[in-house]
Amino acid sequence: MSATVRTEILYALQQRDQLDVILVPGRIRSLIASLPTGVDSLLDLAPGFPSSLDKLRAATLRGLLDQLARARSQYDGSDPTAGDVWDCSLVGLVAGKRREYRATSGTIDFTVLRQTWLREVTKEYGRQVRPTVLELRAAVYAAAIASAALTSRPNSETPHKLQLADMSAIVDAFRTAHNPKTGKPYDSTYRRSLLGHWRRFLDHGRLLGLMDQIPGAFALSSAFHQLEAAEEDTEDDIGRAVPEHVIAQLNGHLHLIGTSYERGGRTTDDYAQMYSAYYRIVRDTGRRPEEAARLKRGCVQRVDGKPTLIYDNLKRRRHGRRLPITEDTARDIEAWENRLSALPVRSLGETWLFPAPGQNRTRRGHMSAHHFSAKIFRAWVDSIPALLDEGLDDEGNPVPYDRAEIVLYGLRHAYAQRHADAGVPVDHLRELMDHRETDTTMGYYKVSLERKRKAVETVARLSIDRHGNSHAYSDALAYEGQTVAVPYGGCSEPSNVKAGGQHCRIRFQCAGCDFYRPDPSYLPALEQQVAELRADKEAALAMGAADWVIRNFEDQIAGYSKSLDQMRHALQTLPEHERTAVEEAARELRKARSAAAFIPLDRLNVRSSG
């Protein structure tokens, strides 16, 4: 090995070390051993040489070559920003927000800007403002949308003639912007984000004097150039809530999560417990994934003896929010925090509940939600042997659930949908979700009501009375308007309906009441009631209770059993596909009737004192 190559390797390694890149001695030695003999400089290697190496050694070599190319550019005085395509490894821009290291790969292509003047202004913006690579790419993409819109305008190549109408055409292009890969329109949030990049680009261009030749009329106006308000959670997102029966299957395979991950002095068991705790927090609290990733140690506090989660609403920049949580969730967090206290953690991660794994060049102390979502969560979902949907196919086989529909953010929507289904008042759920607008929260109730309406229409026609005779309802409105849910079936007694099921004159001995209207959605409750009555009867016999007590138990058992037998028989006579539909509808109604768990709302979302 020549002295020049030795010096180049040492220099490049020093530069990589300053960037906080993990250096693996064995990999570096392996790379050195594979270098061809007689090479005077690493920069003289054939362009295709890295492709002859395995993936790890090729990546190491490219990292060294990037450092040497930057050094050569600085030495010979060449300007890496002179061309229309910038090499990020030579320009020296910071990679991105919370990634405070120089980018070492990738390019920024300004040729997508069709107007020469716009291309040069954008390049000068990059030189003077020195945004991060991610910010500059976003600005270039926003400028590309504007460039495409200007192409059809008469003043496209004469910037000194641009007017307000030209800016309006650009804003119209942002309103209809779509993903070029999928052809689908961007959601309102992303379109507003793109327009924001364009706005900041124009503001910097004016401030730096880069657009002095362009008339002031070519500007964004709050009166004419407003995009539609971005919703906090779009209807499409709400529809992607992970169903409860799928969540139950995920919970049953939680032992598989993160079992192949090991890095930074922690074992696979350590990572498995960390990822398991993170999943449970997102599932049980409904916080956004990034908010859960940024929880700090000691985030569980006690308010009036009840556990409360302290978190930051990052989307709306509301910090120190309080969310009541269950004791089980609090214990999960505290168990992980106790284990974490005995693990090695980089200094940047000492305050975080989920310290970042030992990633290269990271300046982030906490785990990235994207890291969990794209790598750990996706790999875990794909590793589960079988995930089934409800119902059966035409041949009577279980239907596999589409795993692509299971996304981490869907757990937040599942949390909201779970509470909406359980009847939590909308103002309370709005506080729990920390939504700004009630209309956003109402989206979940619309989904809940639509599902419930369809379920009611399915089971209402199978309603019977206490004698087993059919008492079908014509539609969902009649079913819900003329009955009220009581523990073992519907009740049509007018005063009890008016009182919401809280005014039964015979103490809910429904089996002996002519106003009793059970349907298949009450089958599990009836089965449980019959079993409990039989157990109570045996206990009464052992106690030597009076005969009328025993007779009362026997009469109730006979009455409820008659209703059970009648509904089971009715279900068995239905065709297979109809019976499956009724069973699914019955499950939906049982979920809708489930009482919400007690959620203490006092002091909810008050800033923490810490």
Indicate the range of 460-464, 535-539, 541-545, 587-591 predicted with least confidence: 587-591
pLDDT digits (tens, 9 = 90+) for 230-264: 455 554 455 578 988 899 999 999 999 987 666 65
Query: pLDDT category, 599, cuts 50, 70, 90?
Result: very low
pLDDT digits (tens, 9 = 90+) for 308-365: 999 999 887 889 999 999 999 999 999 999 999 988 887 778 899 999 875 544 556 8
Max distance between CA atoms of the chain, in angstroms, equals 107
* Structure confidence at residue 87 (pLDDT): 87
Place of tokens 């308010």: 303
Tokens of 151: 């192409």
Mean pLDDT across 542-561: 93
* Structure confidence at residue 385 (pLDDT): 93
Tokens of 42: 């690493």
Indicate the range of 25-29, 161-165, 256-260, 567-571 predicted with least confidence: 256-260
- d(CA 91, CA 103) in angstroms, rounded, equals 8
User: Who wins on pLDDT, 261 or 202?
Assistant: 202
- The answer to whether the beta carbons of residues 21 and 63 sit under 8 Å apart is yes
* Structure confidence at residue 348 (pLDDT): 79
* Structure confidence at residue 137 (pLDDT): 94
* Structure confidence at residue 235 (pLDDT): 45
Other Cβ atoms within 10 Å of 216 Cβ, number: 8
pTM given for the model = 0.57
Mean pLDDT across 602-608: 47
Tokens of 205: 């261009």
User: Who wins on pLDDT, 178 or 454?
Assistant: 178
Burial call 231-263: b when 16+ CB within 10 Å, e when fewer: bbbeeebbeebbbeebbebbeeeeebbbeebee
* Structure confidence at residue 238 (pLDDT): 59
pLDDT above 80: residue 103: no
Angle, CA of 215, 217 and 220, to the nearest 5°: 120
* Structure confidence at residue 575 (pLDDT): 86
pLDDT above 50: residue 598: no
Domain boundaries, the chain: 3-76, 85-207, 235-462
Mean pLDDT across 172-191: 88
Query: pLDDT category, 440, cuts 50, 70, 90?
Result: confident
pLDDT above 50: residue 602: no
* Structure confidence at residue 333 (pLDDT): 95
User: Could you tell me which CATH number the domain at 235-462 has?
Assistant: 1.10.443.10
pLDDT above 90: residue 581: no
DSSP 8-state secondary structure symbol assigned to residue 172: H
pLDDT above 90: residue 457: no
Tokens of 158: 């004469």
Which residues are CB-contacts of 599 (< 8 A; sequence separation ≥ 6)?
324, 419, 424, 428, 432
* Structure confidence at residue 346 (pLDDT): 78
User: Who wins on pLDDT, 178 or 43?
Assistant: 178
User: Who wins on pLDDT, 141 or 498?
Assistant: 141
Mean pLDDT across 126-152: 94
For 294-377, where are the alpha helices, taking DSSP H only? Answer: 327-340, 369-371
* Structure confidence at residue 261 (pLDDT): 62
pLDDT digits (tens, 9 = 90+) for 49-96: 877 888 888 888 888 888 888 788 777 777 888 899 998 878 888 877
pLDDT above 80: residue 446: no
User: Who wins on pLDDT, 190 or 393?
Assistant: 190
Mutual orientation of helices 438-459 and 426-433 as an angle, nearest 10°? 130
pLDDT above 80: residue 226: no
Place of tokens 């599932």: 283
The alpha carbon of 27 is separated from its chain's Cα centroid by a whole number of angstroms, namely: 37
* Structure confidence at residue 189 (pLDDT): 79
* Structure confidence at residue 45 (pLDDT): 85
pLDDT above 60: residue 610: no
**In the chain, % of residues over pLDDT 70:** 88
Burial class from Cβ neighbours inside 10 Å (0-12, 13-18, 19+) for residue 174 reads buried
User: Who wins on pLDDT, 398 or 447?
Assistant: 398
Residue-averaged pLDDT of the chain: 84
- The answer to whether the beta carbons of residues 428 and 418 sit under 8 Å apart is no
pLDDT digits (tens, 9 = 90+) for 374-389: 889 999 999 999 999 8
* Structure confidence at residue 353 (pLDDT): 95
Tokens of 127: 């030189």
User: Who wins on pLDDT, 541 or 20?
Assistant: 541
Amino acid identity, position 98: R
Mean pLDDT across 277-306: 93
